[in-house]
Amino acid sequence: MSSNAAEQCEALHFWDTRRNVIRTRVGGAVIGEGVVFSHGYSMLEELTGHATFFQVLVLNVTGRLPEKRLADWLEATFTCMSWPDPRIWCNGVGSYGGALRTSPVAAITAGTLAADSRLYGPGSFPLVAETIGKGLRLRQQGAPTADIVARLNRRADSPSAAVPGYARPIAAGDERIPVMDQVARNLGFTAGPHLELAIDIHDYMMAEFEEGLNLAGYLVSFLMDQNMSAKEIYRLYSLCVNSGIHACYGEAFDNPPESFLPLMCDDIEYTGHPSRKTPNHQQDKENVYVQ
């Protein structure tokens, strides 16, 4: 084999070993034998009927089968993260889907995508995790809370503070945190260093800026104390808003089409260029139309 051919063979080796072959640590079915594995567990003999849905969800996301109480806590967070209120942006997508007679899967999927947002929902979690993780490193270096907040503040030139995991749209304060804290207490959890720091920051932010911890900040800190990574937390919560979208989609679907918040033409304010004559682009391609 010539040296060029050998080099090409080596360059393609990575791709050739993957062509028409799947190698997986996730698991899968052995077709024809009625056997299905997830991360080494038999789905039918060890998981179905023995583990909860949320335990298996964590297993599929992280590769680790968690104790049931952690799965129960996660399930409770899903319950309080999805209100049946179409004014919430992702839920409104579900309502518009119902108004347009989409399938439920299309509407719920579209609403789920809407919650992949930097402002709320799972899309906000990676930055919250980065913030809390950075804050804990500063704390471990001995930084006082005020200095930590100053370092985490993304709006340092403003009188208000912007720290991911703190504040929330429309309302200040988060009524879900004491509820979830009680759920955690009932399940026998104790706060770890991430959550302790998150509450220290909360106390400081409330005193200085009247902005407090939001549910994303609380649950991300809690889960980081459970040794979950930012990536794992983001993945776990991908579908966390689906329940409220369902409610909004269903109601809109069961009403006449397009009857959810109909708009008159004048309900939209046009602020663009005044009316002008359209050049004939098709007939005279030599014209230059930029005005």
Q: Return the amino acid letter for 42.
A: S
Task: Verify binding: residue 1, another protein, rule CB under 8 A.
Answer: no
Laid out side by side, the sheet with 35-38 consists of 27-30, 35-38, 41-42
Q: Interacting stretch for another protein, rule CB under 8 A, among 49-57, 77-85, 92-100, 276-284?
A: 276-284
CB-nearer residue toward another protein: 2 or 280:
280
Considering the complex, what minimum distance in angstroms separates the CB of residue 212 from another protein? 6
DSSP symbols for 53-112 = HHHHHHHHHHS----HHHHHHHHHHHHHT--S-TTSHHHHHHHHHHHTT--HHHHHHHHH
| In the complex, least distance from residue 252 CB atom to another protein, rounded to whole angstroms | 17
Closest CA to 218 of 76, 63, 64, 61: 76
- For 14, the 3-state DSSP assignment is helix
Structure tokens belonging to residue 77: 């967070």
Kindly identify the residues of this chain, within the stretch 133-192, that bind another protein according to CB under 8 A: 170-175, 177-178, 181-182, 184-185, 189-191
CA-nearest of 89, 199, 204 to 153 is 204
Nearer to another protein, 1 or 21 (CB): 21
For another protein, the binding residues in 41-100 under the rule CB under 8 A are: none
Smallest separation, CB 21 to another protein (Å)? 5
Which of 5, 14 has the CB closer to another protein?
14
Q: Angle, to 10 degrees, between the axis of helix 68-80 and the axis of helix 176-186?
A: 160
Closer CB to another protein, residue 73 or residue 237?
Answer: 73
Can you read off the two tokens belonging to residue 242? 């689906």
Least Å distance between CB 257 and another protein?
13
Site for another protein in 183-212 (CB under 8 A): 184-185, 189-191, 195-196, 199, 202-203, 206, 212
**Cβ proximity to another protein, 36 vs 150, nearer residue:** 36
Distances (CA, A) of 212 to 29, 139, 148: 47, 19, 15
Q: How far is the CB of 153 from another protein (least distance, A)?
A: 19
DSSP structure string for 146-160: HHHHHHH-S-TTSSS
- Binder to another protein among 40, 147, 154, 229 (CB under 8 A)? 40
Q: Is 119 in the site for another protein (CB under 8 A)?
A: no
Told to check if 267 binds another protein by CB under 8 A, we report: yes
- Please report, to the nearest 10 degrees, the dihedral formed by the alpha carbons of residues 124, 127, 133, 138 taken in order: -130
Cβ distance to another protein smaller for residue 142 or 277? 277
225 binds another protein (CB under 8 A): no
| Comparison of 218 and 237: residue with beta carbon closer to another protein | 218
4 counts as binding another protein under rule CB under 8 A: no
Among 1, 30, 34, 256, which residue interacts with another protein (rule: CB under 8 A)? 30
Distance CA 112, CA 108 (A): 6
User: CB under 8 A: which stretch of 62-70, 120-128, 240-248, 282-290 binds another protein?
Assistant: 282-290
